[in-house]
Structure formats: structure tokens, C-alpha cells
Structure 1
Amino acid sequence: MKKLFNKEFILYIVFGVLTTIVSWGSYTLLVNACKMPVFWSNLISWVCAVLFAYITNKLWVFESKSWEVKLVLKEAGSFFASRGATGVLEIVFVPILVKLSFDNLFYTVFEKMHISFGILFTEGIYSKIVVSFVVVILNYVFSKLIVFKNKAD
């Protein structure tokens, strides 16, 4: 268990939380303030989050300090490809869960509790949260085993 909770994993979680804040924050802003549809808000928030994640994962999580063009192109290519694969999952499944009224379960609970905090009623936010948990796990596996694999392990 100690091996799991090493510096790399802890930093991945910390920057993962920050990446999630970038994703959910931009999503909420786009849906609420900009009145954008769920699909476009989700797509744009995903792009913002992936850009943030690449930089933080490269520099601090997996400590890939080299900016040699060949290495950066290889890392960035595999990072964006793997995030593209999990991004498709997010972009497809969030609207599907919304259409299936997944979020309504949460809205009903909060209404019965007389809680009216606006962000809790953002369309698609609970669908986004559930899908995000699956995506985070897959992203770590791809980053660790493919993108930033450490040959010293």
C-alpha cells in the first residue's frame, strides 16, 4: 500500500483535482454564464483541462523536464491521444447520462433537503462528476504506462 501512495501518485491526485476544477469550473461558467449547450460546454472544458493537465503532469507529476523537440512531440502526441480517447468517453457519456435523467436523482434529493445552491443544479454536473472519476483512473494508467513511462522502474 505504501508503494501506491508515493510522491508521484500524490502529485497526480493534487494536480488531478486542480485539472478537475479547471474542467468543472469552465464547464459551469460556459453552461451558466454563457448559456452554451451541454455538448459544447463539455468539449471546451475538456480542452482547457487537457492543456492544463499536460503541463502539470509533464513538469511536476512525472518530472519530464526535457524540452527536446523530439521528446516533447512524442510525449505530447501520446498524451493528447490517450486523453483524446478518454475525452471521447467524457464527451459522449455526459450528454447520454443527462438524456437519461441521471442528474434528476440528485436534483430531487437537494430539493427535498431545501438546498438551492445554484451550482448543485447545473445541468449535467452529476453526470460529469461520475464520468470524470472513470476518466481520471484511465488517464493515470495511460500516463504512467505509456506517456511518461519511467525506464528506471
Structure 2
Amino acid sequence: MIDRLKKLYDKYEEVIAYLFWGVLTTAVNVLIFSGLHLFTNMNYMVNNFIAWVISVLFAYITNKAYVFHSPSKSFLSDLKEMSSFFGGRVATLVIEWILLWIGISLMHQNQILVKIFENVVVIILNYFWSKWAVFKNSTNKGQPKQGR
């Protein structure tokens, strides 16, 4: 039973790590958005942008180190990787804005619940962008894990 669980974990380690760090990134995003919503009088779109910047930086660092294990080859390659990561996140930021606008402005739903819903959609989209465009050349793809 333990061996079976270990094999499953090894097979889906990247997805499990992405989900773990994605949940933490979502928590950072929602907590910052909620804090700004509760303690400031700023528009929800401004709150969302501030939460987005902080959570995307958190996501880049954790995805690079703990999900896709992308080595730093040079400053230029890291800058290119980070630009691609943030570029993909800008695309999903537009989707966030649309979902927030529909849920909050048009449908008059609870801001926090709409924020959580759109985060689920964005996490899924961001995973595929990160896997196929940003960290596609990571060294851990298809290789057995060391020390296992």
C-alpha cells in the first residue's frame, strides 16, 4: 500500500506540488484582496491588481523552485523566464477582471466568493501556461528523481 502511494506520488509529484503552491498563492491573493476590501475604500479592481502583483511574484518564486525545479542558468535566461511567466499571468489577469466584473458589477455577488471562484479558473489556466510555455525546458521533465 505504501509503495503504491509512493508510486502515485512520484507520478503526479509536479501536479501535487502545483496544487499545494497554487492553494497558497490563492490564499495570499484572497487574503490581500480581502484585507484591502475590508480596510480601505479602494475600488475592487485596484484591490485585485495589488493582490495580483504580490501573489504572482510569490507564484513565480515557488513555481520555479518547488514545482518545475527550473535552474537559474543566467540572469538573461531568468529574466526571459520571468517575463514569460508574468506575461501569461497578465493574460489571466484580464480573465480575472472579466470574471470579477461579471460576478460583482453585473451579477451583484459577494466580492470574496467571486474572487475565490475566479482564482480556481485562473489556477488551472496558469498551470498549463507554466508547464507548456514558461518552464518547458526544466531539467526534471521525464527524469527519475534522485535518491528515491
Pairwise TM-score range, normalised by the shorter structure: 0.7 to 0.9
**What's 1:62 paired with?**
68
| Aligned pair partner of 1:143 in 108, 130, 138 | 130
Cα displacement string for residues 96-150 of structure 1 (whole angstroms, at most 9, x for unaligned residues): 21012352xxxxxxxxxxxxxxxxxxx5111112211111111000000010014
Structure 1 segments unaligned to the other structure (5+ residues): 104-122
Q: Decide whether aligned partners of structure 1 residues 129 and 4 sit closer, same or farther in structure 2, where only a CA change above 3 A counts.
A: farther
- Structure 1, residues 64-123: CA drift from partner, whole Å, max 9, x if none? 1315112101110110000110011102320221012352xxxxxxxxxxxxxxxxxxx5
Distance in 1 separating the partners of 2:58 and 2:48:
15
- Give the ranges of 4+ consecutive aligned residues of structure 1 lying more than 4 Å apart after TM superposition: 2-5
Which amino acid counterpart does residue 118 of structure 2 have in structure 1?
A: V
Percent identity, aligned pairs only?
A: 42
CA contact (8 A) 1:94 1:127 kept: yes
| Kept in 2: contact 1:20–1:49 (CA 8 A) | yes
Give the residue type in structure 2 aligned to 1:66.
Answer: S
Q: Tell me the matched-pair count.
A: 133
Query: Which letter maps to 1:132?
Result: N
TM-score (structure 2 length as normaliser) = 0.82
Aligned to 1:38: 44
Q: Aligned match of 2:58 in 52, 56, 71?
A: 52
- Mapped to 2, the partners of 1:28 and 1:139 lie a distance apart of 22
Tell me how large the CA RMSD over aligned residues is: 1.9
Q: Is the 8 A contact 1:102 1:127 kept in 2?
A: no
Q: TM-score, normalised by structure 1?
A: 0.79
